[in-house]
Structure 1
């Protein structure tokens, strides 16, 4: 059986390993247009900020490892044509220019995503940078040595983490986002209010509810000004972090896709063409809170889906359990976790929900120290099914986001969580764990309605 894997970051790396484990006799050929595999782009901000000293530590595999497992790895090869009728792939060697065409029995599309580049006037100016792969991370680090005024466009996780990294390294930082709140996809307003105040207190200039209208450059072509409809900001460097779109043009009109280009797959990672499987940022996920198809480009989704490709390559063996879009963030000492829908995003997912906001210390006050935990539970009206949750504290409560993720995945109710069995030990929590207390507060809210 000949298997061609196109793209080899998170989903591709996981797929190759899983295919060779489950099908040791498969002939696996990997095409990757970059000179590296498995780069943890979620660590870029840590690398930029100097927390991670060695870039090599952000790779968890290598072409050599995949080759040692039995794969034929073609690095710096750009796939140009996929012929789904004749089941062939044509690729160009970017170092020599030579072109080859190979046949396949099964094709695995793990081509990932690419940063969205809006059509803004002046965006071609020097020092307007993207933040996705290893080479881009190195460019950001090199250019940041000379930059004093940095503008980050996009207030999602990557943008916020870069803001922190630049602040910690002494830069003057401006954050611009078209939405009126940072981290809009992950947190509701009570949480983002706290974090926005933290950013302002740290000297960050926030321009929220503003879209970039134009970039201006100096005589040498370097960006020096970012213009919005109401303001102008000086800049030595701009990082664009406005989102990602799937890299799937090779299969356009050849398999079913969402309007944004994400390949529609079933719970066994199969596309509408039974011989083409897809995983990671190039594919959709099943979103458990709303029981719907969604596009959520996260490394965690990618490695799970990549693993499932190997299990389900020739038969349906292991079904995808879906995702809650669970995530965590560290920002200036705040530990933040979220899962599922927010009160705000529930509307976009056609869910009618209620939400309870609750605060308490994570452990008893008689202990030498304790910390406040801000929490929110989001639940479906009528069923009390838990569909989301958020937590934030100076104490590390982020693993509780994983607990809430399991609650969503397993369709637990507010009542279930209110009475769930958690241990008590004064070093760590109260007789009632703070998640119990959160759900019990939600029960009180429900009793009022």
Structure 2
């Protein structure tokens, strides 16, 4: 059997590795249009900020590794078209410009995503950049050394992390977002306010509720950012406005969401049984709402790629869905979040209750301790846990994983209130702060 994998970042790399580990004799061909694979784009901010010194450490696999496992790896090869009826694809060698036709028995679509591009003027100016792949990271790093002022457009995870990275480089930093709070998809206002205060305390210029409508330049380089409220001078702009799935190759051939994300079942099969898909090109099953959503996270891509490796010949292992769990460290604040925010629950018309609670993570008799700000979002009627947020100077982010597991297994507030957690004064209190959060919810 011949398997062709189109695209090889997180999902494609993990699919290839696990297919070949499970089926060493399988004929696996990989087509990747870039000159690298498995790049951890979440490390761009760490590289820019100097936390990671060697950018090669941001790759966790290589064409050589896949070749050693038995894959036929073709770098700098772009798939131009796919015909699922004839199970064939047209490929272009980007080095020689040669085009040829290949065939498959099973197709794995892991083409990923691309930054959302706004319809505004000035995008072609020098020093207006996107942040997605290895070459973007290198360009951002190079350009940043040549300017004193940087504007980041988009206050999601990538944007906020880049703000800190540029600050660590000694740059003046301006963060602009059309919404009225930072990290709006992940945090409710009580938590976003804390982050915003920290950004301002660090000297970051914050412009929320302003939409960028264009860029102006001098001598071909960006010089000002135009928003719905005013103009701002700058030397470099990085756009961090989210991502869109790159799935045009299968448009009209498999079922997709309106945004182009490919719909897959619990075995990562598309509406065509011989075509699999994973990663940023696909939907995920979002457990808190029990529907399909587009949540382009590396964790989702890696899990889905692994599942393709299990299910490529026959259905064996099911996808358990996702809670969209994520973590962030920004200017000394550790943040963990999972499931629905209160605002998202209202948007989906899900009746919820919420509890906000703050307590020390360990006993006061210890030499030091830190406050933990927590929020629990749960079903108004059956008390099923649907979401949670945590913030502290102490690293409590693993507790977001605990809440994620609670959501996945449909645990209730009552379950969490008396759940068994260890006690050791170095690490926590006789009642863990998650117990106390749930107990407060029951008392309200």
Aligning the two structures, in what range does the TM-score lie when normalised by the shorter sequence? over 0.9
Residue 300 of structure 1 corresponds to: 299
Residue 104 of structure 1 corresponds to: 104
Task: Report the secondary structure of 1:47's partner residue.
Answer: helix
Residue 177 of structure 2 corresponds to: 177
Equivalent-residue separation in structure 2 for 1:19 and 1:80 (angstroms): 24
Residue 93 of structure 1 corresponds to: 93
Superposed displacement of residue 82, structure 1: 0.3
Matches within 5 A, 1:177-326: 177-218=177-218, 220-326=219-325
Tell me if structure 2 keeps the 8 A contact 1:290–1:350. Answer: no
Equivalent-residue separation in structure 1 for 2:308 and 2:147 (angstroms): 43
Equivalent-residue separation in structure 1 for 2:191 and 2:169 (angstroms): 25
Residue 123 in structure 1 maps to residue 123 in structure 2: yes
Superposed displacement of residue 444, structure 1: 1.1
Structure 1 unmatched ranges of 5 or more: none
Equivalent-residue separation in structure 1 for 2:211 and 2:114 (angstroms): 20
Superposed displacement of residue 168, structure 1: 1.4
Residue 81 in structure 1 maps to residue 81 in structure 2: yes
Residue 439 of structure 1 corresponds to: 438
Superposed displacement of residue 349, structure 1: 3.2
Runs of 4+ in 1 over 3 A off after TM superposition: none
Cα root mean square deviation, aligned: 0.7
Tell me if structure 2 keeps the 8 A contact 1:114–1:132. Answer: yes
Deviations 1:351-399 (A, max 9, x none): 2111100000001111110000000000011010001000000001000
Tell me if structure 2 keeps the 8 A contact 1:90–1:102. Answer: yes
Matches within 5 A, 1:32-43: 32-43=32-43
Matches within 5 A, 1:402-441: 402-441=401-440
Equivalent-residue separation in structure 1 for 2:380 and 2:67 (angstroms): 52
Residue 61 in structure 1 maps to residue 44 in structure 2: no
Residue 374 of structure 2 corresponds to: 375
Equivalent-residue separation in structure 1 for 2:352 and 2:167 (angstroms): 37
Equivalent-residue separation in structure 2 for 1:238 and 1:389 (angstroms): 33
Residue 355 of structure 1 corresponds to: 354
Equivalent-residue separation in structure 2 for 1:145 and 1:45 (angstroms): 14
Residue 165 in structure 1 maps to residue 157 in structure 2: no
Superposed displacement of residue 348, structure 1: 2.9
Superposed displacement of residue 280, structure 1: 0.3
Equivalent-residue separation in structure 2 for 1:395 and 1:76 (angstroms): 44
Equivalent-residue separation in structure 1 for 2:38 and 2:85 (angstroms): 31
Q: May I ask how many residue pairs the two structures share in their alignment?
A: 444
Residue 400 of structure 2 corresponds to: 401
Deviations 1:127-184 (A, max 9, x none): 1000000011000000000111100000000000000001111111111101000000
Give the alignment's TM-score, normalised by structure 2. Answer: 0.99
Deviations 1:243-265 (A, max 9, x none): 00001000011100000000000
Task: Report the secondary structure of 1:301's partner residue.
Answer: helix
Equivalent-residue separation in structure 1 for 2:345 and 2:198 (angstroms): 27
Give the alignment's TM-score, normalised by structure 1. Answer: 0.98
Superposed displacement of residue 347, structure 1: 2.3
Superposed displacement of residue 314, structure 1: 2.1
Equivalent-residue separation in structure 2 for 1:167 and 1:152 (angstroms): 12
Equivalent-residue separation in structure 2 for 1:135 and 1:166 (angstroms): 18
Residue 345 in structure 1 maps to residue 344 in structure 2: yes
Equivalent-residue separation in structure 1 for 2:2 and 2:355 (angstroms): 53
Residue 11 of structure 1 corresponds to: 11
Residue 329 in structure 1 maps to residue 317 in structure 2: no
Task: Report the secondary structure of 2:174's partner residue.
Answer: strand
